Chains A and B, each alone.
Chain A
């Protein structure tokens, strides 16, 4: 029986695969038969992800996607792809009175310019097959919600969803689909870095109807829908994965 969610025969690039959501996406895609090219800045942690991938033939390329030379290097190594998942991103809580051009430039560089320009270069260099799928990891923050101190982060995520809709239109003639996954809070190392206390996190979970944060693989499953043939008629969509948070 044909499984429309299968990724067998598909080659997928996942950025930000050294940890958290990117790592989970790469691993879950491998379980569904995809051949992965994974990238991230931390070589050691990227290799740890590679070791956990099921199947063979996966490739790891360490690099910083905000550096033009490293992007060129990655592009030269890439085979033709059936999908890209843009996960690499940073978050920092900065209340609006304390934002600066430097902070804006820095977060937009990683969260917005890097994935957008990488996608554009891949299309120009014909690295994406017809019918390929581009997925951006956005957030509920920005497109739907706001949280204290998240002005810059939210803006980068809202910019991604706006860009994705337009990419969907401009790339439709090549049958390349572009979609976004919008998670709420996800249980990864990023949220335990210290700007929000553990007590505050426990309190926050109660405001989710499902009373917890997402597991990284639950975000991965949404990505797999967009990468697979099951979403062949879905483009320009935003899929919220937030345990019902935005309902309240």
Chain B
């Protein structure tokens, strides 16, 4: 969980990540961020996800929990 949160913090360009927030709540969130999260999931977690699915998570924590439970 720590590792995934760190990767997300890097993409969102923040030092600390508030897991209760949604992706779109972050100031730096834009199309590059969403593509980066999708690319990171593919490269590091061998998982594919569409932009629509990504934005449907109610919080970063919910996203992380789901990704880690699906991790092969």
Contacts and interface: CB of A to CB of B under 8 A. Distances in A.
Interface of A: 93-95, 97-98, 100, 148-149, 193-197, 200
22 contacts: A93-B35, A93-B38, A93-B39, A94-B35, A94-B39, A95-B32, A95-B36, A97-B39, A98-B39, A98-B42, A100-B43, A148-B31, A149-B31, A149-B32, A193-B50, A195-B35, A195-B38, A195-B50, A196-B51, A197-B51, A197-B52, A200-B31
Contacts of A193: 50
Contacts, number: 38
B44 to A, nearest CB: 9
Nearest to B36: A95
Nearest to B32: A148
B51 to A, nearest CB: 5
A148 B38 CA distance: 13
User: Chain B at the A interface: mostly helix, strand, loop or mixed?
Assistant: helix
Interface of B: 31-32, 35-36, 38-40, 42-43, 50-52, 55
B36 A196 contact: no
A230 to B, nearest CB: 40
Contacts of A100: 43
Contacts of B50: 193-195
B43 A194 contact: no
Nearest to A94: B39
A44 to B, nearest CB: 23
Nearest to B39: A98
Contacts of B39: 93-95, 97-98, 149
A148 B51 CA distance: 14
